[in-house]
A = this chain, B = another copy of it.
């Protein structure tokens, strides 16, 4: 087992990464009261719920099982968590446990942020994407019909426990979606890690446990460092959004759940790389290299064919990264280094949105 710490003063918390951790009942030290609400979904609960419950027999334990999918990450389903908490009379010392992927983690975290103005929660991420990204850093929330994650809060978990063994039951497409964010960490922060990913793409797709454990560890380490520097995303943390402004537009256009988040991020990141190249900051060979790695990870590298530049511009203008009406993008200054900038040419952006035409 490997351990990392997200350093945020009195909101610091550990991340544990290892095989079989769900079975080892590591939760008790992070539960302060006697009430626990387990939140999971209809896909993950049948596989792992009992494992988790077995380690919690000394607590007053209730559960909410939500339907699986991004389509249910909304206020209506968030309310089901509040309803259950109140029906079971959970008080301010309760602990919520998120057992599932990013949707469950984001919703459970947001419910914890708002229930009685804030209670504790623990992340048990069961997808690669949530293990390397959404479970770490305290971003929580739900979608609004007009945009992803528009309603939410910064609320840090008290612990994150990433059991790599559960990835063996993860569908291949979801593993690939997680790899999109892993590749992102290499691109924005660590050229050597990007090289390592090029060499190990095959092993990762084959779910080699050692390769996965290293990829998760290094990804969480980079994310923890950026989050510790900038918890509420007023600066450097925004680099984590590489590919996300384009990606969110793709997800919204396609309809929630039609493209996996990681798939949209992959295509969006290639667009960000393309624009970076048009600005003269990276070479066309770099863009090709990036595109090749995403393909090797089983990911799309182009947006949906029916998405016009006008559609992109409309959807991107409601993105949270738009400050004072000006579009800010994360672009690459090299493989391993990114910048947040408004300094790109509109003509270059239009070419990127046009698919290079």
Contact = CB atoms under 8 A, between A and B. Distances in A.
Nearest to A142: B114
A75 B83 CA distance: 12
A357 interface: no
Interface string A244-278: 00000000000000000000000000000000000
A92 B154 CA distance: 14
Interface of A: 33-34, 75, 79, 82-83, 86-87, 89, 91-93, 113-118, 139, 141, 144, 146-147, 149-154, 232, 317-318, 320, 322-325
A89 B317 contact: yes
Contacts of A116: 150, 152, 320
25 contacts: A34-B324, A34-B325, A75-B79, A82-B144, A86-B146, A86-B147, A86-B318, A87-B146, A89-B317, A89-B318, A91-B320, A91-B323, A91-B325, A93-B323, A93-B324, A113-B153, A114-B141, A116-B320, A117-B141, A117-B154, A117-B320, A118-B153, A118-B154, A118-B232, A153-B153
In the A-B complex, list the 8 residue pairs whose CB atoms are closest, starting with the nearest: A86-B146, A117-B152, A116-B320, A114-B151, A91-B322, A89-B318, A93-B324, A117-B154
Contact of A153 (B92, B117, B146): B117
A118 B139 CA distance: 11
A115 B82 contact: no
Contacts of A91: 320, 322-325
